[in-house]
């Protein structure tokens, strides 16, 4: 496996908390190691925040909120565009830092940086629309006038995962700031470095002190304290379904708002008339982008029986030839998993697939040497009750089953507790639309890769989501709706 030199950065990596406009140490006086998943070496140690740090950050945000909420949407748009331009200016450094900390190939990290820029630019545009007059509502009374006003919810806690650093932050932070909320961000303890560098860019954009705060640390310490804090009006969480349930429970006593973007076990339905080359490309991208560490991974392949043999053969060849290696090496198609716990979890799932009787077509071994590398794995004829078919693996494991009728495909696709995304591959446009309409998923792609635009929406059905991100829905999730009813003067 090639081992190119690790990238050098322009300045020392940021490791401190950012609270009330200052970079500071944690009151716990403890630190967390941040590991390079390609080498298993510690890159640096960051502050391990605790409940006292959370309280300082929330108090700072609460104090700043009073003035921040009174700024105009146009003023907030200026800050958002400054953040976007800062990300552009430091894009290559951010991409390199993400690949080193997360493990994804540098080309994928560059895509993520572009997504961050687009998201901040989009919400800058949306923020400018907030200066319009209150929305008048027609009511059946000539003696009264009703309007709807949208106001920021207050202090919001943003808790983000390790699989898409900066992207999930941008999807939450940009609309929260656009709405006029003050923010406390908790990055994943596994990938805080790109988030801290993004925080420095936000700082340089000149936001008032306390509007934006970052507390690094573990979920059990920082995440739990944020979720339960009485001054936090809203929690926006992206992560596992199990932790999402804990977030809801912790938020319940104070009846605070909660948005959840959780797990998935998504299908890609390939009909017999599909373009085979396209189908192979879509399956590979849907299953193995970011080493399969995606809540949107379409790792359940449902293929119509007449095409099954040809699709399996083509996929097996592509899976076996996937180049797994260092994120900075030329030709690398898939990097390591992001942390040891996930590495071990994927190994357990592969073993359970074998034990359940699924036919192993491509064995996903572990290369020699350091790093959390796993070769992609492919199972076919997977029992419908098998854990590898039903549970979210969050790794490079592809499972395939055949179907005979359109109704069978829809039933099998919807037979899951999740409902985040789905893909349909067919040359029959009418069937594509019909099946997309029948699938229980928040996002459906027809003959298209997993493109996500900030102008649209993100979120799913069932246990996959509570609420929506992106588009106007993402902005609305950080707003309260106020009705004002006024008597009309007779003068």
- The DSSP result for 180-195, as a single string, is T-EEEEE--SSSHHHH
Which CA distances in Å does 174 have to 169, 171, 348? 8, 6, 38
Q: How many CA atoms lie within 13 A of 156 on its CB side?
A: 32
Angle CA 405–406–412, to nearest 5: 90
Cα angle, residue 474 at apex, residues 473 and 475 outer, rounded to 5°:
90
CB count in 10 Å sphere of residue 448: 12
What values do phi and psi take at 23, rounded to 5? -85, 120
Judged by DSSP in three states, 485 sits in: strand
Closest CA to 391 of 239, 265, 245, 244: 265
Q: What end-to-end distance do the CA atoms of the chain give, in Å?
A: 84
- Residue 147 burial (CB count, 10 A): 14
CA atoms of 185 and 158, how far apart (whole Å): 5
Q: Please identify which residue in the block is written with the tokens 């690949």.
A: 99
Of 391, 365, 389, the C-alpha closest to 376 is: 365
How far lies 284's CA from each of 208, 289, 344, 416, in Å?
45, 8, 23, 21
Q: Identify any residues that bridge with 403 across adjacent strands, giving them in sequence order.
A: 304
Strands (E), 254-383: 257-261, 267-270, 300-304, 359-362, 377-380
Catalytic-role residue among 261, 304, 392, 469: 261
* Residue 376 and residue 201 in contact, taking contact as beta carbons nearer than 8 Å: no
User: C-alpha distances in angstroms, 265 versus 276, 320, 343, 416?
Assistant: 23, 23, 18, 7
Greatest alpha-carbon span in the chain: 86
Strand 155-159, strand 144-152: pairing: unpaired
What is the bridge-based pairing of β-strands 31-36 and 359-362? unpaired
Place of tokens 């590979």: 284
Residue pair 419/410 in contact (Cβ under 8 Å)? The answer is no
Length of the chain: 491
Question: Active site includes 261?
Answer: yes
Q: Which of 473, 462, 470 is nearest to 439 (CA)?
A: 462
Q: Which positions are catalytic?
A: 261
């Amino acid at each position: 496996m090639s081992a190119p030199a690790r990238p050098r950065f322009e300045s020392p990596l940021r490791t401190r908390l950012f609270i009330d406009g200052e970079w500071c140490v944690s009151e716990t006086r403890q630190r967390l190691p941040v590991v390079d998943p390609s080498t298993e070496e510690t890159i640096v140690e960051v502050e391990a925040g605790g409940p006292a740090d959370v309280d300082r950050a929330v108090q700072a945000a609460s104090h700043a909120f009073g003035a921040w909420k009174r700024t105009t949407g146009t003023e907030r748009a200026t800050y958002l565009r400054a953040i976007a331009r800062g990300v552009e200016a430091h894009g290559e450094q951010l991409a390199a830092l993400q690949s080193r900390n997360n493990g994804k190939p540098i080309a994928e990290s560059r895509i993520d940086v572009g997504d961050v820029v687009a998201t901040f630019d989009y919400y800058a545009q949306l923020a400018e629309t907030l200066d319009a007059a209150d929305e008048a509502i027609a009511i059946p009374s000539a003696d009264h006038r009703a309007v709807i006003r949208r106001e920021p919810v207050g202090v919001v806690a943003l808790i983000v995962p390790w699989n898409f650093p900066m992207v999930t932050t941008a999807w939450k932070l940009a609309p929260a700031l656009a709405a006029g909320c003050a923010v406390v961000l908790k990055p994943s303890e596994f990938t805080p470095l790109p988030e801290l560098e993004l925080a420095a860019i936000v700082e340089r954009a000149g936001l008032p002190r306390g509007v934006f705060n970052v507390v690094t640390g573990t979920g059990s310490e920082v995440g739990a304290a944020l979720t339960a804090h009485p001054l936090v009006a809203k929690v926006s969480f992206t992560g596992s379904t199990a932790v999402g349930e804990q977030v809801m429970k912790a938020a319940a006593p104070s009846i605070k708002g909660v948005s959840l973007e959780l797990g998935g076990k998504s299908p890609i339905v390939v009909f017999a008339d599909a373009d085979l080359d396209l189908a192979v490309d879509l399956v590979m991208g849907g299953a193995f982008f970011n080493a399969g560490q995606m809540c949107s991974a379409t790792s359940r392949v449902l293929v119509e029986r007449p095409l099954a043999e040809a699709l399996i053969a083509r996929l097996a060849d592509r899976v076996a030839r996937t180049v797994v290696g260092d994120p900075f090496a030329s030709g690398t198609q898939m990097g390591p998993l992001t942390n040891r716990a996930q590495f071990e979890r994927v190994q357990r799932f592969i073993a359970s697939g074998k034990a359940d009787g699924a036919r192993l077509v491509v064995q996903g071994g572990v290369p020699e040497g350091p790093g959390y590398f796993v070769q992609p794995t492919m199972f076919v004829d997977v029992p419908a009750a098998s854990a590898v078919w039903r549970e979210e693996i969050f790794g490079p494991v592809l499972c395939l089953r055949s179907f005979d009728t359109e109704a069978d495909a829809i039933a099998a696709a919807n037979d899951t507790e999740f409902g985040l995304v789905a893909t349909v591959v067919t040359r029959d446009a009418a069937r594509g639309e019909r099946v997309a309409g029948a699938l229980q998923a928040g996002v459906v792609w027809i003959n298209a890769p997993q493109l996500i635009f900030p102008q649209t929406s993100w979120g799913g059905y069932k246990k996959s989501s509570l609420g929506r991100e992106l588009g106007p829905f993402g902005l609305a999730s950080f707003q309260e709706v106020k009705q004002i009813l006024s008597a009309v003067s007779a003068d």
